[in-house]
Amino acid sequence: MEFLHPEYLYLLLLLVPLIVWYMIRLSKTQASFKLASTNAFKGMKADFRVYMRHLPFVLRLISIALVIIVIARPQSVSSWEETETQGIDIVMALDVSGSMLSQDLKPDRLQAAKKVAAEFITDRKNDNIGLVIFAGESFTQCPLTTDHKVLLNLLNEINFGMIEDGTAIGLGLATSVNRLKESDSDSRVVILLTDGTNNSGQIAPLTAADLARSYGIRVYTVGVGTKGMAPTPVNTPYGIRMQNMPVDIDEKTLTEIAAMTGGQYFRAQDTEGLRQVYEEIDEMEKYLISVQNVTRRQELFLPFALFAMGLILIELLLRRTWLRSIP
């Protein structure tokens, strides 16, 4: 048995001054009657209730002790289980530039990427996963965390226009490496998804790749978009219009980034293809770790609480009936 709040057990020390107070009070309290003669009481034995007059106080002490134990929350841990499972540190770097609004993936590249990324996160329950977004600049949307509910909420909040437009692949990768470089995990991975060519930022993609390699971080690069032309929203004098725009993905650089870091380059031309890319990465990135889990925790305060209530009830009955005292 263990206690959820063991610090409350120090309250049991309060019973000591309570006992001292009772003893002092008992020594000063004496009943007296004026009688002409006490001869009639000679030889009479003390009634059993005289010896039992301290019982209500003892019951009160025990009930207070039990209440303190209840406050400390006694619990039992029935068993521990040690299992092997998969768990690594992953940063997902997502391009949020204007070209990600192209609709060759439905409803568009950005929404399709978010949906498939959410499925990937849901399937990787034991991983520390972080989220970096980049366009003309980059920042961390979510640091490494195992709280995937928070991560999924932050992923869902990503939209075009959050940062200056452009495609800073090198800066996005460098930010991802910065989130992973202090990690103690034996396996550290960046999944970088983009649909364009590096045209912004102060860090070249291959420079960021060399930085990732120096820290032992593998980078999987994903080029998303069909081949040829793709319907893309474009600002015109008449408002936003859909126009077929050429798909320009720097596959050569993305392949070099993956090769330098021990990763792999993938091309996803539709939503299902993107899903298959994440499934392949999921299969490749497995790392066994040992995890200890508490299989069962049971609250034990109820018997103590019921026993305390029973003792309080017995004390009240004794004080007002059989052991009632007259002032």
Task: Tell me whether residue 269 is in a domain.
Answer: yes
Phi, psi of 183 (to 5 degrees): -70, 145
Q: What is the mean pLDDT of residues 243-252?
A: 92
pLDDT at 290 over 60: no
Q: Residue 235 has what pLDDT? A: 81
Directed axis angle between helix 55-71 and helix 15-28, to 10°?
160
Residues 232 and 309 in one domain: no
Residues 16 and 106 in one domain: no
Q: What is the mean pLDDT of residues 195-211?
A: 94
Phi, psi of 66 (to 5 degrees): -65, -40
Please give the structure tokens belonging to residue 78: 């029935």
Model confidence pLDDT, tens digit, residues 21-30? 888 887 776 5
Q: How confident is the model at residue 274 (pLDDT cuts 50, 70, 90)?
A: very high
Model confidence pLDDT, tens digit, residues 36-51? 555 655 655 656 666 6
Q: How confident is the model at residue 285 (pLDDT cuts 50, 70, 90)?
A: confident
Lowest model confidence (mean pLDDT) among 68-82, 98-112, 200-214, 232-246: 68-82
CA distance linking residue 264 with residue 262, whole number of Å: 7
Q: What is the mean pLDDT of residues 87-105?
A: 92
Task: Label residue 206 exposed, middle or buried (CB < 10 Å: 0-12, 13-18, 19+).
Answer: middle
Which amino acid is present at 9? L
Residues 161 and 112 in one domain: yes
Collect all residues with Cβ–Cβ distance below 8 Å to 267 and sequence separation of at least 6.
Answer: 222, 223, 249, 251, 273
Task: Tell me whether residue 162 is in a domain.
Answer: yes
Q: What is the mean pLDDT of residues 80-104?
A: 82
Q: What percent of the chain clears pLDDT 70, i.e. is strictly above it?
A: 85
Residues 213 and 247 in one domain: yes
Other Cβ atoms closer than 10 A to 41: 8
Model confidence pLDDT, tens digit, residues 174-183? 999 999 998 8
Please give the structure tokens belonging to residue 291: 């995890």
Q: Residue 39 has what pLDDT? A: 60
Residues 75 and 106 in one domain: no
Q: What percent of the chain clears pLDDT 90, i.e. is strictly above it?
A: 50
Q: β-pairing, 218-224 with 265-268?
A: parallel
Answer yes or no: are the C-beta atoms of 133 and 162 closer than 8 Å. yes
Task: Tell me whether residue 9 is in a domain.
Answer: yes
Phi, psi of 177 (to 5 degrees): -60, -40
Please give the structure tokens belonging to residue 45: 């034995």
pLDDT higher for 275 or 240? 275
pLDDT higher for 2 or 120? 120
Report yes or no on whether pTM surpasses 0.75.
Answer: no
Residues 99 and 142 in one domain: yes
Choose among 265, 247, 268: nearest CA to 255. Answer: 265
Residues 218 and 253 in one domain: yes
Model confidence pLDDT, tens digit, residues 135-148? 999 999 999 998 99
44: helix, coil or strand? coil
Note the residue count of the chain.
Answer: 327
Residues 141 and 281 in one domain: yes
Residues 185 and 64 in one domain: no
Task: Tell me whether residue 207 is in a domain.
Answer: yes
Highest mean pLDDT among 72-86, 95-109, 223-237: 95-109
Burial 120-142 (b: 16+ CB within 10 A, else e): bbeebeebbbbbbbbbbbbebbb
Choose among 198, 188, 185: nearest CA to 256. Answer: 198
Q: Residue 327 has what pLDDT? A: 53
- Between the CA of residue 93 and those of 189, 196, 220, what are the distances in Å? 11, 14, 10
Task: Tell me whether residue 325 is in a domain.
Answer: no
CA-based torsion, 54, 58, 63, 64: positive or negative:
positive
Choose among 96, 119, 121, 120: nearest CA to 109. Answer: 96
Which residue's entry shows tokens 């001292």? 20
Number of domains in the chain: 2
Q: What is the mean pLDDT of residues 283-310?
A: 73
Q: Residue 325 has what pLDDT? A: 63
Find the domain containing 205 and state its range.
88-286
Sheet holding 74-86, edge to edge: 2-3, 74-86, 288-299
Q: What is the mean pLDDT of residues 86-100?
A: 90
Residues 68 and 134 in one domain: no
CATH of the domain at 256: 3.40.50.410
Q: Average pLDDT, whole number, for the chain?
A: 85
Residues 15 and 135 in one domain: no
Task: Tell me whether residue 32 is in a domain.
Answer: no
Task: Tell me whether residue 40 is in a domain.
Answer: no
Task: Tell me whether residue 300 is in a domain.
Answer: yes
Lowest model confidence (mean pLDDT) among 122-131, 152-161, 314-323: 314-323
Residues 172 and 315 in one domain: no
